[in-house]
Amino acid sequence: MSQGTFKNPERIQLSLITGLEKRCLIWIAQRLPLQINSDHLTFLGFVGMVLAGVSYWLARWNPFLLLLAIFWLGVNWFGDSLDGTVARVRNRQRPRYGFYVDHVIDALGILFLFGGMGFSGYMNPWVATLLIVAYYLLSIEIYLATVSLGKFKISFGILGPTELRILLSMGNIVLLFHPTVRMLSRDYKLFDVGGVIAIAGLVIITLYSAAKNGYQLYREERL
């Protein structure tokens, strides 16, 4: 497929703070030094995700490193959210390269993030493993829908990547003081409960999206 025949997919992001975030990112991109390009920001976002995972792992011995993980999540947001905005503001877009590299790096970053949680002692490794699997299943569905329908869905309901980072950061603060939660007369790790809820949510979204997109494609290509 040549560059001329590639159609940049429509980005669908309707999360809670999308409007405010977009204005903020454009403001930053317009003032960012020209020496800093999208590749630098993509790499910075990846480093932020990796070091967030490392911070979770090290929090096994020092709980206050959970706060450091919040900082690295912020670094990840800055790089991961700004790389595409900089390309669009400067009219330096590379649709195929940007889409491919950005999401390969995201997949690797998530492995480090959830892996760090699994080794932190605050989340059962099996919960972390299932969380990785559920995230990858949803990612596969999104990427297949992007190719098949030409629409790249970034958010579901009011939640998108930025909102999830904010929720995770808030969870870190709560975790620092209350690592367990009592349910049905038993104590459970806070991140285990949150992880199970996240897994269920990801699986439900994946199944719903797969059914919806599959039905749409069936109607469009009815024999």
Q: Are 136 and 76 in contact (CB under 8 A)?
A: no
Query: What percent of the chain clears pLDDT 70, i.e. is strictly above it?
Result: 97
Instruction: Write out pLDDT tens, residues 75-114.
Output: 999 999 999 899 999 988 888 898 899 999 999 999 999 9
69 φ, ψ to 5°?
Answer: -60, -35
Partners of residue 152 on adjacent β-strands: 11
Q: Are 75 and 44 in contact (CB under 8 A)?
A: yes
The CA distance from 66 to 176, in Å, is 7
Instruction: Write out pLDDT tens, residues 1-40.
Output: 445 555 677 777 788 888 898 999 999 999 999 999 999 9
Q: Residue 124: its pLDDT value, please?
A: 96
Q: Spell out the domain ranges in the chain.
A: 17-220
Instruction: Write out pLDDT tens, residues 139-192.
Output: 999 999 998 988 888 888 788 899 999 999 999 999 999 999 988 889 999 999
Instruction: Bin 91: left if φ > 0, else alpha if -120 < ψ < 50, else beta.
Output: left
Q: Residue 1: its pLDDT value, please?
A: 46
Write down the architecture of domain 17-220 according to CATH.
Up-down Bundle (1.20)
pTM above 0.85, yes or no: yes
